[in-house]
Structure 1
Amino acid sequence: MTLPFVKMHAHGDDFIIIDRRGQDNPITAQVVARLGKRRSGIGFNQLAVVLDCEDAAARIEFWNCDGTPLATCGSATRGVADRLMHEAGIDTVVVRTDRGLLTCARVDGQQVSVDMGAPSLGWAAVPLAEAMDTLVLPMDGNPAACSMGNPHCTFFVDDIAAIDVAAMGPALETHPLFPARTNVHFVQVLSRGRIRLRIWERGGAVPLGSGSCCCGAVVNGIRRGLLDDSVEVECDGGAVTVQWDGQGAVILTGRVEPIMQGTAYLS
């Protein structure tokens, strides 16, 4: 069986899109894990499957490269929206994910924004193992937690260059407070409108960027009173903008760029 795909990236956060509208959906955890290998597969951080949908332009399912499903991916959502808008010759599109209906729009050429929905701030929604204030967790470093459809834990540090993300990430991801594991952020606040972010992604990686992690980091920084409501987030692979008024939806905006298209072969 052959599977046509498009590979894209957003500030270094790479993903592939497999469009199965009008066709069967052969994507399983085993297929994703095979394609996700960077030496013997295609290699990506996430995979997005585009499916038919009655109340939106498309429904999107997301997978991590290790074959685990995830509810949201800001980068791949914007990538799919970019392809759908090109296809239809329009500048706005609505897609459905596990987060609900998300509105995306083209901004200044190659930039695409997505309404990521409101963050979840309660301990059970993150989720955490027990009831507590998600603004200051009882862990070394006093991080904050929230959910953007997936769990986020944010540490605010004075010097991000001094943090060994790969060494610290695995233990923090699997800390007993996080029964579903967590994405881990290390944030250096450069100004009230700009942060430097490095990430340990749930599932075991240090990505160049992550849309949902950018959103979670900014949400927690605003909750702490450290940031204004529009923030430029500098990741290893480039910058995006995150806006949040403290109550409603989080808006993520940045460039998405195609890398290649090809065909995957499944035996």
Structure 2
Amino acid sequence: MKIRFTKMQGAGNDFVVLDETAGPLGLSAAQYRFLADRHFGVGADQILTVRPPSPRAAAEGVDFEYVIHNADGGEVEQCGNGARCFARFVHDRGLTGKDTIRVQTKSGVISPRLTGDGRVTVDMGSPQFEPAKVPFDASGLAPVAQGSGQKWPLALDGQAQGATVLVAVVSMGNPHAVQLVDDVDAAPVALTGPLIERHARFPQRVNAGYLQVVDRSHVRLRVFERGAGETLACGTGACAAVVSGIRLGLLDTTVDVQTRGGRLTIAWSGREADSVFMTGPATTVFEGQIDIPDTPV
């Protein structure tokens, strides 16, 4: 099967974007993995699919459905950098003339908005801290209180030799475990990232964030993403890190997040019911078409 695609990136987090507004492609998990493969396919952290809204969602003012598959072929709930690229894609392709759109994701409706400086702002919704809603199994654990937030002790097995790390746990439509580090460049992301991602206390796995606070309005961040490994940037990870830092009393309400792929700006009032707003770049890299095997190896 030959399909057309668009390669995009947001702060170095890269995507293959597929247009299914005219009809479904019906790709399998193996075919998504093939597209994401950097040797045999196009290469991407995630595959983003643009679909029309369901009749019910359309009646409620939703413009599109946004479906996300990680590089391992699994469908996930949310991707912030992808949401910005999604908004840029549908606008540049003439699928909408709106600067602000309403988009249905697996975890709820988001509202990306194109800004005058060429960046895109996304209302990422409100964070969830209740362990069951992350989801996170907190049974038997005693959290460490700090500010208005808390950090949970997470015992790691395997190569970490039973080490325990303190993580702030939050959902931004997908689960995150954020730990504070003194130097993000020296953080053991490759060692502990996989252990945190697949920790038994996270039944849907988790994105592992490593947060260095530079000052109250600047941080540095690395994220080991669920199903993708370490990426150059993670939008929901940036939101989770800033929200966690604000709750711990370390950050102001607007923070620049420096990732390895670029800068994101995150704003949150600190009130649990309020939305988190993320602003950052969204760029088309190239367009093309590719033959996808029926049963990729």
What TM-score, normalized by structure 1, do the two folds share?
0.95
* Residue in structure 1 matched with residue 153 of structure 2 by the alignment: 138
CA drift at 1:204: 4.7
Contact 1:85 1:93 in 2 (8 A): no
Contact 1:13 1:237 in 2 (8 A): yes
Trace 1:245-264 onto structure 2 (pairs within 5 A): 245-247=269-271, 248-264=274-290
Contact 1:21 1:50 in 2 (8 A): yes
Letter in 1 for 2:46: Q
Matched, 1:61 2:67: yes
Quote the RMSD (CA, aligned, Å): 1.5
Matched residues in 1 for 2:165 and 2:23: separation? 49
Aligned length: 267
Contact 2:34 2:292 in 1 (8 A): no
Give secondary structure in 2 for the equivalent of 1:79: helix
Trace 1:147-158 onto structure 2 (pairs within 5 A): 147-158=171-182
Deviation string 1:200-241 (CA, Å, 9 cap, x unpaired) is: 111251110011111111111111111111110000011100
Q: Which has the larger radius of gyration?
A: 2
Q: Structure 1 stretch 239-248 or stretch 158-167: which is displaced more?
A: 158-167
CA drift at 1:162: 2.0
Identity of aligned residues (%): 34
**Match for residue 120 of structure 1 among 113, 116, 128:** 128
Matched, 1:36 2:36: yes
* Residue in structure 2 matched with residue 209 of structure 1 by the alignment: 233
Matched residues in 2 for 1:103 and 1:26: separation? 26
Deviation string 1:75-102 (CA, Å, 9 cap, x unpaired) is: 1111111122232343222211123221
Matched residues in 2 for 1:256 and 1:178: separation? 31
Deviation string 1:108-134 (CA, Å, 9 cap, x unpaired) is: 332001111111110101111234658
Deviation string 1:117-164 (CA, Å, 9 cap, x unpaired) is: 111110101111234658210232321110111110011111222212
What TM-score, normalized by structure 2, do the two folds share?
0.86
* Residue in structure 2 matched with residue 109 of structure 1 by the alignment: 117
* Residue in structure 2 matched with residue 194 of structure 1 by the alignment: 218
CA drift at 1:49: 0.8
Matched residues in 2 for 1:150 and 1:27: separation? 23
Q: Structure 1 stretch 227-236 or stretch 162-171: which is displaced more?
A: 162-171
Q: Structure 1 stretch 65-74 or stretch 51-60: which is displaced more?
A: 51-60
Contact 2:223 2:237 in 1 (8 A): yes
